[in-house]
């Protein structure tokens, strides 16, 4: 069952992930700055005040957060994975020397960082996909996330099969 406290906690976590206060999240969402304040969560007569679905939808849109990520924020026990970042590199560069260590983990310079929801593996990384050759394997996303150890090395540049099931 969904509780009042879970929804408000998820909104607080969403604000924190976005680097905002609850008031800042409300403002960014185009709402009255007091919409998500703690003082507005219970009415003067003690009844629980729930946020409207419209307010939640506006907050998700303003932060670019998908609903499934918001559900994770409801279910979590306080440890947010939404604000995690993973290293990002172009697929074309991934086969070059210096980007992965002997174990297949990202290393060296040249990596960008990308925010990525729900990744709990400290060794996860993302490959930026350009062109159309790999698009059918990555759906519409311009990158594919991976969990090591992938089969990297000199053969990477000549893959003739889709990424392993550990890339999505």
pLDDT digits (tens, 9 = 90+) for 56-110: 999 999 998 888 888 888 876 544 445 567 788 887 788 788 888 877 778 888 8
State the pLDDT at residue 162: 37
Two structure tokens written together for 64? 């670019």
pLDDT of amino acid 132: 66
Query: 153 pLDDT exceeds 70?
Result: no
Indicate the domain borders of the chain: 4-75, 85-158
Instruction: Tell me the CB-side half-sphere exposure of residue 64, using CA atoms within 13 A.
Output: 7
DSSP state of 31: S
Token duo for residue 107: 């290393």
* Helical packing angle, 53-63 and 4-17, nearest 10°: 20
- Residues 15 and 9: their CA atoms lie apart, in Å, by 10
Q: Is the dihedral of CA 57, 62, 66, 69 positive or negative?
A: negative
Tokens of 98: 């210096």
Architecture of the CATH domain 4-75: Orthogonal Bundle (1.10)
- Rounded to 10°, the helix 53-63/67-75 angle is 110
The whole-model pTM stands at 0.49
How do strand 125-128 and strand 85-90 relate by DSSP bridges? parallel
Q: What confidence tens digit (pLDDT) does each residue in 95-122 have? A: 788 888 877 778 888 888 776 665 666 7
DSSP per-residue letters across 79-103: ---TT-EEEEEEHHHHTSTTSB-TT
């Amino acid at each position: 069952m969904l509780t009042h406290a879970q929804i408000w906690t998820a909104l607080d976590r969403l604000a924190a992930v976005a680097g905002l206060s609850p008031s800042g999240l409300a403002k960014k969402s185009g709402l009255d700055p007091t919409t998500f304040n703690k003082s507005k969560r219970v009415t003067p007569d003690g009844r629980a005040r729930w946020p409207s679905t419209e307010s939640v939808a506006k907050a998700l849109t303003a932060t670019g957060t998908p609903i499934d990520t918001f559900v994770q924020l409801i279910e979590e026990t306080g440890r947010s994975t939404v604000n995690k970042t993973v290293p990002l590199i172009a697929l074309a560069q991934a086969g070059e020397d210096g980007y992965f260590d002997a174990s297949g983990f990202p290393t060296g310079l040249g990596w960008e960082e990308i925010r990525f929801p729900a990744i709990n593996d400290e060794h996860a990384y993302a490959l930026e996909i350009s062109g159309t050759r790999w698009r059918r394997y990555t759906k519409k996303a311009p990158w594919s996330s991976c969990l090591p150890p992938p089969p990297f090395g000199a053969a990477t540049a000549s893959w003739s099969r889709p990424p392993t099931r550990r890339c999505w």
